[in-house]
């Protein structure tokens, strides 16, 4: 066989055109959940850094007004805090506030969000995404109320504050039971981790009917929860239909 014949053979071979809808769907869910958890973790890091900066500034102020000046300590603390903050988020605080922090602050101080929470105090603020200067923020009240807010970062205004969907008490209980039976979650709970938030999670996928071959779009309600232990946070996704934990992401 010469080269031309070989090329002809290579070009004319019938190639497999196989698509695996289940794999495609599962991988999509796994990827998006991983990406979402990663973004949540970034927001948590920002929150922690922010508290450290506040702590540092308070210490600095105390140092500066103390009857026994400890300005050296104060200055070193301030520099260390600024450096840590800069390293953590790529120095934007030296130029201006990060969009995540800005979105969080606007949302938690918004009268519309307060009204939607029904007078409850803000407990947690999570940034879901930021696109074209519009941030989607979830604000959770201390009584468990949840508000989905859209923040315009350009005008610094909350353009929408809607009371978010929640799982029923039975669904929450079921989610917690399923999670607690998972070995990874169980181990974390044994180590003292606390589940601080349980939210619904909507999963849409295509299902192939094995008999008719028809593809049907199915949306299921799952639960996602956050676990905290010290400075670490884990995201847990629970498939309420099949009664199992799908992912635990650090």
Candidates 16, 96, 183, 230; binder of another protein (CB under 8 A) is 16
Nearest-angstrom CA–CA distance, 222 and 213: 26
Nearer to another protein, 12 or 68 (CB): 12
Nearest-angstrom CA–CA distance, 61 and 78: 10
- Within positions 24 to 43, which residues make up the interface with another protein, using CB under 8 A? 24, 26-28, 30-36, 39
Taking residue 125's Cβ as centre, other Cβ atoms within 10 Å add up to 21
Minimal distance in Å, beta carbon 183 to another protein? Answer: 12
Minimal distance in Å, beta carbon 176 to another protein? Answer: 21
- Among 53, 33, 56, smallest CA distance to 45 is for 53
Minimal distance in Å, beta carbon 75 to another protein? Answer: 34
127 close to 105: Cβ distance less than 8 angstroms: no
- Within positions 90 to 129, which residues make up the interface with another protein, using CB under 8 A? 129
- Among 227, 228, 247, 229, smallest CA distance to 237 is for 247
| Residues contacting 122, CB < 8 A, separation 6+ | 108, 113, 139, 140, 141, 142
Q: Under the criterion CB under 8 A, does residue 244 sit at the interface with another protein?
A: yes
Q: Under the criterion CB under 8 A, does residue 11 sit at the interface with another protein?
A: yes
x/- letters, 126..165, toward another protein (CB under 8 A): ---xxx----------------------------------
Nearest-angstrom CA–CA distance, 19 and 38: 29
Candidates 54, 62, 207, 232; binder of another protein (CB under 8 A) is 207
* Contacting range for another protein; rule: CB under 8 A; set: 19-27, 46-54, 82-90, 222-230: 19-27
149 close to 161: Cβ distance less than 8 angstroms: yes
Q: Under the criterion CB under 8 A, does residue 246 sit at the interface with another protein?
A: yes
Taking CA 206 as the corner, what is the angle to CA 245 and CA 177, rounded to the nearest 5 degrees?
20
Minimal distance in Å, beta carbon 179 to another protein? Answer: 16
Binding site for another protein (CB under 8 A): 1-3, 6-7, 9-11, 13-24, 26-28, 30-36, 39, 129-131, 207-208, 210, 239, 242, 244, 246-247, 249
């Amino acid at each position: 066989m010469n080269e031309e014949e070989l090329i002809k053979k290579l070009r004319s071979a019938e190639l497999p055109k196989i698509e695996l809808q289940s794999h495609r769907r599962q991988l999509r869910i796994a990827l998006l959940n991983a990406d979402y958890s990663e973004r949540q973790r970034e927001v948590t890091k920002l929150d922690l850094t922010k508290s450290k900066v506040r702590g540092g500034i308070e210490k600095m102020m105390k140092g500066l007004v103390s009857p026994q000046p400890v300005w050296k300590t104060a200055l070193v603390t301030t520099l260390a805090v600024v450096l840590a903050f800069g390293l953590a988020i790529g120095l934007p605080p030296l130029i201006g506030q990060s969009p995540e922090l800005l979105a969080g602050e606007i949302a938690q101080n918004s009268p519309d969000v307060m009204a939607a929470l029904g007078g409850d105090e803000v407990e947690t603020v999570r940034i879901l995404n930021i696109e074209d200067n519009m941030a989607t923020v979830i604000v959770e009240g201390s009584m468990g109320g949840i508000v989905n807010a859209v923040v315009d970062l350009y005008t610094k205004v909350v353009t929408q504050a809607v009371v978010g969907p929640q799982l029923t008490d039975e669904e929450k209980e079921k989610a917690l039971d399923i999670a607690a039976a998972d070995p990874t979650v169980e181990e974390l709970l044994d180590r003292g981790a606390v589940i601080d938030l349980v939210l619904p999670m909507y999963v849409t996928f295509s299902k192939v009917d094995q008999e008719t071959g028809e593809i049907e779009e199915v949306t299921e309600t799952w639960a996602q929860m956050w676990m905290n232990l010290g400075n670490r946070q884990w995201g847990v996704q629970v498939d309420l239909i099949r009664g199992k934990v799908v992912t635990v992401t650090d």
